[in-house]
Amino acid sequence: TVPRIVTNQCGYRPAAAKVASVVLAEGAPDRQDFTVESARGEVVLRGTLPAAARDAASGDLVALVDFSAVRTSGTYRIRTADAVSDPVIIAETAYGAALKTAMRAFYGQRCGCKVDLGGGYKHKACHKAGEFGVSSGKSGPVRNSGGWHDAGDYGRYVVNSGISTATLLYAWEMFPAMLQPLKLQIPESGGRVPDFLAEVRWNLQWMLSMQDPADGGVWHKQTSAAFCGFIMPERDDLPSQVIGTGSAPFKSTCATADLAAVAAIAARCYRPYDPKFAESCLVAARAAYKWARENPEVLFKNPPGVTTGEYGDRSSADEMMWAAAELFRTTGEAEFRVAFEAGLPAELRVTTPGWNNLMSFALWAYAMSTGANAALRDRIVSATRDAANALVEHSRTSGFGNTMEATDYVWGSNSVAANHALLLLMADRFQSDPAAREAALANLHYLLGRNCFGVSWVTGVGVRPFQHPHHRPSQADKIAAPWPGLLSGGPNAHGGDSVADKLPKRPPMRMWVDDWQAYSMNEVAINWNAPLVFLLAAANA
Ligand code: G3I
Ligand code: 9MR
Ligand code: ZN
């Protein structure tokens, strides 16, 4: 049964804004009374529901209960004449466990080593051997392994790894008090590198191994030619191929520029813990940048015979800007600043980050650099504020408090919600903005239960988490419940798989189903989990 009163299933911190969505049945009287009751049944707040409004994204009739006044830690329920909420927790530590679970999910995605998350969620070492595919311009075995499985499939894709790794490292730079002490129970725990950085490094090392030492260019992906069946990763014996563009120069600009940007960020983050590794990242970043400058528009399309994820992009200009900006932020060298400034469009617009849109990351990296042009920095801050203000406005008109418009419900829409939150938190960082921060948290509430399904879109988190991700290990192991800490792709108004394509057309937020075969709606992916971790780190801070 779908609960009619929905909230964040992890709860709220005592001082935070707290709003529940009460979904009214058609024709139900509005202006009903509501109460908020403590675990002992004591009424701590009572009132009358405000007038209900039709929520455009879901089609639901929704009244909002603001219970921000309840500030004492404890467990509560919200009640109307005919409905009662799940328990609502108020606690200073509301998001601590979720942060750890969502970050440990990356460990669960590790390729090339055995993994054991506890609770029976484990696999043996997988995809240990690689080979150069014909499209890479080389042949024979390649001695690389590692990285994170991209999603519900076992491919590893540099472009998507790029934004995922960068998002996590941005979280590291912005919320050190939350992430430095985080204990992840991974094989590296107890070493000289903090757990969070150790986990990210697992993927970084694979990304670095995709760079051609001969020229600095980076191959696009390492996958089998086609997706394997729904088996555990160690049972997948399809050759793991390094895949390129099929003709000279074989490497792609987006992959190469993304690696340049990420390795430049890594050079900053790892310097205090492992200066040698940090230095090798910077060397790789410079080499990749040089290649990308010489080959600025090599776009990737799957070569003949390859049907795994494409992560093709129509433009590499934003990735090039991002590489220049991160190298400038890390080194302060004029060459990178000049390249960034020369590449700027006349009108600056801050847009939602995504695997194929790194322009906002580029702008923010520049704005956070020592030595940035002050006037340009101000323009970036003001463009960020404009974008944030528009999102705050959407949040205020949504029945579920999220920042999304109808057009945001695409493949991976839950990552749009999380990346809107990231944008809002950047705005708040540049210029303190409580409304932006509140709208960012409202998207966390949406993802963790305050939505038209009353579902938590993170496996293992909250009282009603979704159960059937498109995720090979979750299907192939013998355990009913899915691997924990994974964010569903979320509602998608456009279909894209045979289950989704058969669903009746409904308002965009309703275009989701908890079915493991519906990969356009219910897959998981590292680039969706990364902004979730970013948001959880902010929510805990
Ligand atoms: O942005 C447009 C929007 O303007 C348009 O209105 C809408 C409707 O057509 O489409 C939007 O683009 C969609 C895009 O995702 C948004 O990022 C495309 O239709 C949609 O096909 C595209 O889906 C991508 C999907 O691969 C299929 O190529 C997802 O972004 C991407 O996350 C996903 O990635 C896959 C990998 O290929 C393989 N591994 C799993 C991973 C996750 O599903
Ligand atoms: O499992 C694959 C998933 O990771 C991709 O996002 C998706 C779209 O590329 O494809 C999935 O694989 C399906 C393939 O495309 C078609 N045959 C069924 C496969 C598994 O359901
Ligand atoms: Zn693997």
Three-state SS string over 460-526 comes to: CCCCCECCCCECHHHHHCCCCCCCCCCECCCCCCCCCCCCHHHCCCCCHHHCCCCCCCCHHHHECEH
Nearest CA to ligand 1 atom 10: 410
The verdict on 409 and 431 lying in the same domain is: yes
148, 153, 306, best to mutate for ligand 2 pocket (most atoms within 8 Å of CB): 153
* 228 CA distance to ligand 2 middle (Å): 9
Number of domains present in the structure of the chain: 2
Domain boundary among 94, 121, 153: 94
pLDDT at site 152? 98
- Helices 195-209 and 253-270: crossing angle in degrees, nearest 10, is 150
- Residue 260 and residue 150 in one domain: yes
Q: What's the pLDDT at 1?
A: 45
Whether omega before 194 lies within 30 degrees of 0, making that bond cis, reads no
Amino acid identity for residue 33 in this structure? D
Amino acid symbol at 349: R
* Of 94, 117, 149, the domain-final residue: 94
Enclosing H/E stretch for 208: helix 195-209
309 Cα nearest atom in ligand 1: 37
In a domain, 460, yes or no: no
The answer, yes or no, to whether any atom of ligand 1 lies below 6 A from the CB of 408, is no
Is the CB–ligand 2 distance for residue 152 below 6 Å?
yes
As a whole number of angstroms, the distance between CA 144 and CA 207 comes to 10
Two tokens at 124? 């043996």
* Closest to 421 (Cα-Cα) out of 198, 96, 174: 174
Ligand 1 touching residue 496 (CB < 6 A)? yes
CA 372 / ligand 3 centre spacing (Å)? 41
Q: Is 274 in the pocket of ligand 1 (CB under 6 A)?
A: no
The pTM of this model reads 0.98
H-helix segments, 431-511: 434-447, 472-476
Q: Please tell me whether residues 105 and 7 are part of one structural domain.
A: no
Q: Whose CA is nearest to atom 11 of ligand 1?
A: 410
Give the burial class of 370: count Cβ atoms within 10 A of its Cβ; 0-12 exposed, 13-18 middle, 19 or more buried: exposed
Sign of the C-alpha dihedral computed for residues 143, 128, 231 and 488 taken in this order: negative
CB 85 within 8 A of CB 77: yes
Do 416 and 384 sit in the same domain of this protein?
yes
CATH at residue 25? 2.60.40.10
| pLDDT by residue, tens only, the chain of 541 residues | 455 999 999 999 999 999 999 999 888 877 899 999 999 999 999 999 999 999 999 999 999 999 999 999 999 999 998 899 999 999 999 999 999 999 999 999 999 999 999 999 999 999 999 999 999 999 999 988 899 999 999 999 999 999 999 999 999 999 999 999 999 999 999 999 999 999 999 999 999 999 999 999 999 999 999 999 999 999 999 999 999 999 999 999 999 999 999 999 999 999 999 999 999 999 999 999 999 999 999 999 999 999 999 999 999 999 999 999 999 999 999 999 999 999 999 999 999 999 999 999 999 999 999 999 999 999 999 999 999 999 999 999 999 999 999 999 999 999 999 999 999 999 999 999 999 999 999 999 999 999 999 999 999 999 999 999 999 999 999 999 999 999 999 999 999 999 999 999 999 999 999 999 999 999 999 999 999 999 999 999 9
Q: Are residues 42 and 2 in the same domain?
A: yes
In this structure, are 152 and 226 located in the same domain? yes
CB atoms within 10 A of CB 23: 22
Residues with catalytic function = 153, 470, 514, 523
Q: Distance between CA 485 and CA 286 in Å, rounded?
A: 35
Question: Ligand 1: which of 254, 410, 414, 501 to mutate, judged by most atoms within 8 Å of the beta carbon?
Answer: 410
Tokens 């410079």 -> residue: 286
For residue 398, the CA-to-ligand 1 centroid distance in Å is 24
Residue 5 and residue 24 in one domain = yes
Q: What share of the chain is helix, strand, coil (3-state, %, to 5)?
A: 40, 15, 45
Q: What is residue 3's predicted lDDT score, i.e. its pLDDT?
A: 56
Other CB atoms within 10 A of residue 180 CB: 12
Of all protein residues, the one whose alpha carbon is nearest to atom 30 of ligand 1 is 411
- CA-CA distance, 371 to 328, in Å (whole number)? 9
For residue 27, the model assigns a pLDDT of 82
For ligand 2, atom 13: residue with the closest CA: 227
Q: What angle do CA 355, 358, 361 make, to 5 degrees?
A: 125
Type of residue numbered 515: D
Based on the fold, state whether residues 36 and 140 are members of the same structural domain.
no
| Residue 27: C-alpha distances to residues 23, 53, 66, 83, 487 (Å) | 12, 13, 23, 15, 35
CB 199 within 8 A of CB 184: yes
Where in the sequence is the domain holding 23, given as residue range(s)? 1-94
Q: Which ligand is nearest to the CA of 313?
A: 1
Quote the Cα angle for 459-447-537, to 5°.
85
- 268/336 same-domain check: yes
Instruction: Give me ligand 3 centre to Cα 125, in Å.
Output: 7
Does 134 lie in the same domain as 59?
Answer: no
Count of CB atoms situated within 10 Å of the CB of 29: 11
What per-residue confidence (pLDDT) applies to 26?
84
- The pLDDT score that the predictor gives to residue 2 is 54
Among all bound ligands, the one having the nearest atom to the CA of 521 is 1
